[in-house]
Chains A and B, each alone.
Chain A
Amino acid sequence: MNHTRIRYRAIALALVMTVIIAGSSRLRADSGSCSGQTVTLPFTDVAGSPFFCQIAEAYFSGLSNGTSATTYSPGQNVTREQMAAFITRTQDQGIRRRSYRAALDQWWEGSFSTGGTTDVGNGPQSVESDGADLWVASFGGTVTRVHGSDGRALGTWTGADMADGVVVIRGRIFITGETSPGSLYRIDPKQGAGPVDVATNSLGNDPRGITADESFIWTANYGSGSVSRFNPASGVVTTFSAGFSLPEEILYDGSHIWVSDSGDGTIKEVASNGSILQTLSGFNAPHQPTFDGSNIWLPDSGAGTVTVIRVKDSQGNPLVQPFVLATLTGNGLADPYAAAFDGERVLVTNLGTDRVSLWRATDFAPLGSFSVSSGSAPRGLCSDGINFWVTLAGTSKLARF
């Protein structure tokens, strides 16, 4: 018997043993009883574990794959890097499974189609959802109500001269009118369509963005470089000018008001008394941001970027020092104008290039960009829990995505 032969035999024997071991470990897969049924896992080291059923769930729902095809290593310590994988998978899985889209079996990212558009008033700017219907403010002076489930236009309210921003709050729809001085219109959605009410016409000049906190309606007044605070109970308007240049948009993150200002390229954190708490600068032309529960996403049309700003801490409390977390580029960004969050993803409109760009909100992973019809000028947008809805300023339509 020569050396080579011995070596071949040794290799063959090793292969056979490997196959036997592999075969036997498959046979030795551990079983246990969970919720009254017998469960078998591919792991051979978890039998009798007090956490057998939890290991089974982690495996079945895709949170963990074990340390090898046949081992889970239950007694092994978890390192911080593994911990990061476990908690982010858990978070993402929870978000993915409980999204309304998942419940409706809609697993595609979204799409634009001619069948998914509704004619609205001339020059649509912003849109917000009340959970069932969409409210579209058009610069031509109308507010259109669109049924979310089937896209039917339900009614048009008139007299909203130069309508721009919309907020749904207190059982009413509030709309800014970009007049000088500025107007705040109001609609009672229980009533039939007709002329809007004028809640006040003494806001700062040219109000664009609008938001609401627990007590007040807030507007960003582009023309007069100010922010107005409207008390819906008393009708009193207080206007704050100190520190603002050309305020574009305004949002409330549950703690503070944030104002994007294209005059000095900043976003400002504002206290309820109108004083500026923080200013983050270095932007070119920041427009309509959105908040995702932790971060503000700020599209900058001049820079062609979206800046993600951390404003809350790990427990959801406001940060004393908000900071720039990341600046996103690519993914179809060109002239980005407005952002919206649907609980899982952030969609950004690119006004000049007829595209929208989509990211996963938790890890900023780009999910692609999608084109709208040429010349449509996608501008404002919102989510109704199922779809994003985008105003097409160029063609006076509301598009479902």
Chain B
Amino acid sequence: MNRGRIIDRAMVLSIVLALMAAGSSRLRADSGTCSGQMIALPFMDVAANPFFCDIAEAYFCGLTNGTSSSTYSPSSIVTRDQMAAFITRTQDSAIRRMNRRAALGQWTQGVFAGGAMTDVDTFPYLVKSDGVDIWVASAATSTVSRVRASDGHFIESWTGASGARGVLVARGRIYVTGGSTPGHLYRFDPSQAAGDVVTVADLEPYPDSLTTDGFFIWTACNGSTFSNGGSICRINPTNGNVTKFSGFVSPNGILYDGSNIWMIDLPASVLYKLNTNGTIAQSITVGATPYYPAFDGTNIWVPNKNNNSVTVVRVKDSVGAPLASAFVLTTLTGNGLDNPICASFDGQRILVTNNSGDGVSLWKATDLSPLGAFSAPSGSHPYGACFDGVNFWITLQGTNKLARF
């Protein structure tokens, strides 16, 4: 018997032993009873564990894979880096499973289709959903179009909203900004038959987007020259009283994060945090020519039109309380960004419209990972965006359409 043969036999023996061990470990997979049914896991170290059923759930729904294909190591200590994996998987799984698109079996990221576009009034700007219908402000026709989200049916137009630009659903009413010098805040009752809007208040020149803190309506006003004299208006919706906060260059985007009003000053490339009395609490430099931001529960996403970037600003702490000092978390580039204008959050993802790029860019909101860029028809010039619980809706200024994504 030569040496080579001995080695061969030893190898064969070890392979056989390894296979036997593998086979037996498969047989030895642990079982337990959870909710009255017998459960078998691939792990061999969790039998009779008081947390057997929790371990089973963590494995079944993809939160953990164990420490090897056959071990879970129930008594091992969790390190902070493993914990990061556990909690982010838990967060993402809950968000993925609980969103309305999942309940409707819609697992595509979204798509633009000609059949999913609705003709709206000329030169649509910003757009908002009340959960059932979509409201589109059209500047050239001074109207607000109502489109049914479930089937894209154009329902009606409200008239008389001169230069309609921004739209907000709040307090059982639809609020609209429009006008030049002076600007106007309009309102109408969507439960009534369509007709003329009502003027709530005269505003500073060229009001743009608007938001509410639950009571006051806040508007960003560009100012008549768009290069200075811009301001913020805070409107009491019950009496129409307007409080003006000046000293800005040309505000355009504005949002409320549950604690503070945040405002974009476009030429200054600054995101301002405002106190409720209109004074500036903090100013944060973002990219060039920022437009309409979105809040995701933790961070504000600011599209920077002339930089082809998105600045992500951390504004809330880990328990959802406002940070004393907000800061730039990161700046995103690439992912098809091409003159980005408007950001929108759907509970899971951030969508940004690319005005020159004729498309949208999409990110996963929790880890800021790019999900791709999607093309709208050439020359469509996407502008405003909102989410209705199922789809994003985007105004196409170049073709006067509202597109479902």
- Interface residue ranges, A against B (CB under 8 Å): 34-37, 39-40, 46, 49-51, 53-58, 60-65, 67, 72-78, 82-83, 85-87, 89-94, 96-100, 102-111, 113-118, 132, 147-153, 315, 317, 385-386, 400
Q: Kindly report which residue of chain B lies nearest to residue A74, judged by CB atoms.
A: B81
User: Which of A65, A77, A148 counts the most chain B CB atoms within 10 A?
Assistant: A77
Contacts of A77 in B (CB 8 A): 77-80
Known: A35-B367, A77-B79, A150-B130. A108 touches B191 (CB 8 A): no
Known: A46-B81, A51-B81, A118-B191. A93 touches B367 (CB 8 A): no
Known: A105-B255, A110-B214, A111-B214. 14 other contacts (CB 8 A): A74-B79, A78-B77, A78-B78, A78-B79, A94-B94, A97-B297, A97-B347, A104-B386, A105-B295, A105-B345, A106-B169, A113-B237, A115-B237, A116-B172
Contact A109 B214 (CB under 8 A): yes
Contacts of B347 in A (CB 8 A): 97-99, 102-103
Give bound CA distance, A313 to B191, whole Å.
44
Give bound CA distance, A319 to B92, whole Å.
29
Give bound CA distance, A211 to B306, whole Å.
57
B107-132 with Cβ < 8 A to chain A: 128-132
Contact A56 B367 (CB under 8 A): yes
Please, how many residues of chain B have a CB less than 8 angstroms from a CB on the other chain? 84
Contact B369 A149 (CB under 8 A): no
Give bound CA distance, A49 to B85, whole Å.
11
Contact B214 A104 (CB under 8 A): no
Q: Kindly report which residue of chain B lies nearest to residue A343, judged by CB atoms.
A: B98
Contact A51 B85 (CB under 8 A): yes
Give bound CA distance, A78 to B54, whole Å.
19
Chain B interface helix/strand/loop/mixed: mixed
> Residue B81 contacts which of A72, A97, A111 (CB distance < 8 angstroms)?
A72
Contacts of A108 in B (CB 8 A): 170, 212-214, 256, 258
> Can you show 9 pairs from A to B with CB atoms below 8 A apart?
A60-B366, A61-B88, A61-B299, A74-B84, A100-B131, A111-B215, A118-B191, A149-B190, A150-B189
Contact A36 B318 (CB under 8 A): no
Q: What are the interface flags for B87-100 relative to A under an 8 Å C-beta threshold, 1 for contact and 0 otherwise?
A: 11111101100111
Q: Kindly report which residue of chain A lies nearest to residue B366, judged by CB atoms.
A: A61
Contacts of A60 in B (CB 8 A): 299, 312, 329-330, 366-368
Contact B334 A94 (CB under 8 A): no
Question: Using a Cβ cutoff of 8 Å, how many contacts connect chains A and B?
Answer: 236
Known: A61-B91, A62-B318, A98-B348. A107 touches B257 (CB 8 A): yes
B53 interface contact, C-beta 8 A: yes
Give bound CA distance, A149 to B134, whole Å.
11
Contacts of B171 in A (CB 8 A): 111, 113, 115-116, 400
Contact B87 A63 (CB under 8 A): yes
Contacts of B191 in A (CB 8 A): 118, 147, 150-153
Contact B131 A104 (CB under 8 A): yes
Give bound CA distance, A61 to B299, whole Å.
8
Known: A90-B91, A149-B190. A57 touches B366 (CB 8 A): yes
Contacts of B320 in A (CB 8 A): 62, 92-93, 96
Give bound CA distance, A78 to B298, whole Å.
24
Give bound CA distance, A107 to B262, whole Å.
13
Known: A60-B330, A149-B133, A151-B172. A107 touches B83 (CB 8 A): no
CB distance from A42 to the nearest CB of B (A): 9
Q: What are the interface flags for B323-337 relative to A under an 8 Å C-beta threshold, 1 for contact and 0 otherwise?
A: 000000110101100
Contact B131 A51 (CB under 8 A): no
Q: Kindly report which residue of chain B lies nearest to residue A110, judged by CB atoms.
A: B214
Contact B172 A62 (CB under 8 A): no
Give bound CA distance, A62 to B84, whole Å.
11
Known: A61-B367, A75-B81. A105 touches B87 (CB 8 A): no
Contacts of A57 in B (CB 8 A): 84, 88, 91-92, 366-367
Known: A35-B367, A58-B84. A76 touches B318 (CB 8 A): no
